[in-house]
Amino acid sequence: MKIIDTHIHIWDFEKARYSWLEEDTSILNRTYSIEELEEERKKTNVEYGVLVQAANNFEDTDWMLEVAENNEWIKGVVGWLPLQEPKECKAILKEKYIKNQYFKGIRHLIHDEKDPRWLLQEKVLESLQILADHDLPFDLVGILPEHIETALEVAKKVPGLRMVFDHLNQPPIQQNLKYGKWGDLMKEASEYPNFHVKISGMGTTSGKPDSWGKAEINDYIKFVFMHFGTDRCFLGGDWPVSLLAGSYAYTWKQYEESLKEILNDEELELVSFNNANRFYNLNLKT
């Protein structure tokens, strides 16, 4: 089972500001470098990785691009753009990022914005259209049903934009709901072909550090496969946030055990490698 981990974070307090970590008292409030992950990665089937933004600033994106350049197994970066400034977005894409071979997508920390409808601002929508015009996908880091509702509106207004729900947009695992409003909205989202799902972050979502596994996650994984199909889902480890729910190797063991119980070999290859390769235009040989 060859895996592309599509959700790896790094952060360095000397390189960029990570405002969401400033009041954090957990193990996350320190620098995490890509080198720290290497020994754990060797215990898994992860062959390639994609770095994902952790701050709404250029410094974080530029740092990730530098790390990708110097680490052969990192094949892509999901960076940041000032979506509220479409002219600046267009200019910096043209002048700097489009020509960078590792720049593969965009994300904004929408879950930290007070308004869950933040993406529906006129200028933000204009910027999202620019992404669509460049075939750059957008990572949706939603945590509320309202974030899915917003994404549905974006899909109608910017139909050419490819989007992925990071961490399944927080399914109600802790509430033991199957599947509540989350399920209704995700089912509606599945009707739009440009929506994809990233199976990631399920350990922290489960609320059972170091003890989560198939019993907690299988039903939700089956749900997204049922509605989105195995050709629109792929995987992410969410390191180092995932450390709140177990080691990197532990996280991947739970995902692999779950997926091997649900999927056949051909479907496994799609979900673990091919879909991510296609979505982020990584151009890796299968």
Is 167 inside any structural domain? yes
Instruction: Write down the pLDDT at residue 220.
Output: 98
Q: What would the pLDDT profile of 140-199 be if each residue is shown by its tens digit?
A: 999 999 999 999 999 999 999 999 999 999 999 999 999 999 999 999 999 999 999 999
Say which CATH number the domain at 157 has.
3.20.20.140
Instruction: Write down the pLDDT at residue 1.
Output: 87
**Residue ranges making up the domain that contains 137:** 3-279
Is 286 inside any structural domain? no
- Taking the CB of residue 272, how many other CB atoms lie within 10 A of it? 25
Instruction: Write down the pLDDT at residue 114.
Output: 97
Is 126 inside any structural domain? yes
pLDDT surpassing 80 at residue 200? yes
Q: What would the pLDDT profile of 94-128 be if each residue is shown by its tens digit?
A: 999 999 999 999 999 999 999 999 999 999 999 99
Least Cα distance to 197 among 182, 211, 185, 186 occurs for: 186
31 alpha carbon, distance to own chain's centre: 20
Is 193 inside any structural domain? yes
Is 284 inside any structural domain? no
Total of domains in the chain:
1
Is 285 inside any structural domain? no
**C-alpha distances out from residue 68 to 20, 206, 215, 249, Å:** 23, 31, 35, 22
Is 43 inside any structural domain? yes
Instruction: Write down the pLDDT at residue 162.
Output: 98
Is 48 inside any structural domain? yes
Q: What is the pTM of this model?
A: 0.98
Burial of 20 (0-12, 13-18, 19+ CB in 10 A): middle
Q: What would the pLDDT profile of 46-93 be if each residue is shown by its tens digit?
A: 999 999 999 999 999 999 999 999 999 999 999 999 999 999 999 999
